[in-house]
Structure 1
């Protein structure tokens, strides 16, 4: 698992334009899955353009802290996990 926000941002930057699935904790043993494309990374957040067939809104942003604290998990099509769990 990455141990710093800079490491997480660097790893995500290499996946810009790729399809991914975001699994987010929705409280009390509930999770939500959203499919989309990693659009951009910013100093504190990253933006995912969502699949319009599944979602009522176009894009969502998450903080790198969400990955660090394991509130969300990212799965890309070409590997098991973007957060690498190292």
Structure 2
């Protein structure tokens, strides 16, 4: 039950930053790390969507709140000229 509570807290934290610019650092395995900047577009019950504004096209990627909890994905939100890190391990 504690894991569900932590996941709910992560979701609630992210909901407050919908529409904000966000830095994403995702571990894609085998020493592949993706770093991008985008906008937190929407949160859903099990996933959240980030809109990446890349040169050729606009791309959307989604991650689960579990990815944040397990630190597979690190998120940093740009909020009023300061950076706020969304942490998965709420100890």
TM-score (norm 2): 0.79
Matched, 1:82 2:86: yes
Superposed, 1:1-86 pairs within 5 Å as 4-53=6-55, 58-77=59-78, 78-83=82-87, 86=90
Considering fraction of residues, name the structure with more helix. Answer: 2
Bigger RCO (CA 8 Å, 6+ sep): 1
Structure with the higher fraction of residues in strand conformation: 2
**Gaps in structure 2 of 5+ consecutive residues:** none
For these two proteins, the number of residue pairs brought into alignment is: 84
Shift of 1:57: 5.3
- Which protein is bigger by CA-based radius of gyration? 2
Deviation at residue 28 of structure 1 after TM alignment: 2.4
After the TM superposition, which parts of structure 1 deviate over 4 Å for at least 4 consecutive aligned residues? none
- Structure 1 residue matching 2:71: 3-state secondary structure: coil
